[in-house]
């Protein structure tokens, strides 16, 4: 899949505007089907990695995760995470 650098920058800008460092998220390291790979708090602002993929770094997770594979944990879900 080809990523548009402009679209990825926009995704990063939107993410950073709405989600500060420390946001609780679920993340998937592979396919989005099934259970998430983990849950953790973001430890960075989102960035475009290699000029082509919007990513964020998550505590307890080795490497970064594409924003397309991250879901914010909200409200009542937070207590269950």
Instruction: Give the CATH number for residue 65.
Output: 2.30.30
State pLDDT tens for residues 6-55: 999 999 999 999 999 999 999 999 888 889 999 999 999 999 999 899 99
Helix (H) or strand (E) segment spanning residue 57: strand 53-57
Q: Work out how many domains the chain is built from and give that number.
A: 1
Report d(CA 47, CA 16) in Å as an integer. Answer: 9
Confidence of residue 81 (pLDDT cuts 50, 70, 90): low
Confidence of residue 1 (pLDDT cuts 50, 70, 90): very low
Q: What is the dihedral of CA 62, 68, 69, 70, to 10 degrees?
A: 80
State pLDDT tens for residues 42-79: 999 999 999 899 999 999 999 999 999 999 998 756 55
Domain encompassing residue 33 = 5-80
């Amino acid at each position: 899949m080809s990523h548009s650098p402009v679209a990825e920058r926009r995704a990063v800008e939107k993410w950073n505007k709405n989600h500060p460092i420390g946001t609780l998220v679920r993340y998937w390291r592979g396919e989005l089907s099934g259970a998430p790979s983990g849950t953790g708090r973001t430890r960075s602002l989102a960035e475009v990695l290699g000029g082509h993929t919007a990513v964020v770094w998550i505590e307890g997770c080795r490497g970064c995760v594409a924003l397309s594979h991250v879901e914010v944990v909200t409200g009542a879900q937070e207590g269950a995470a």
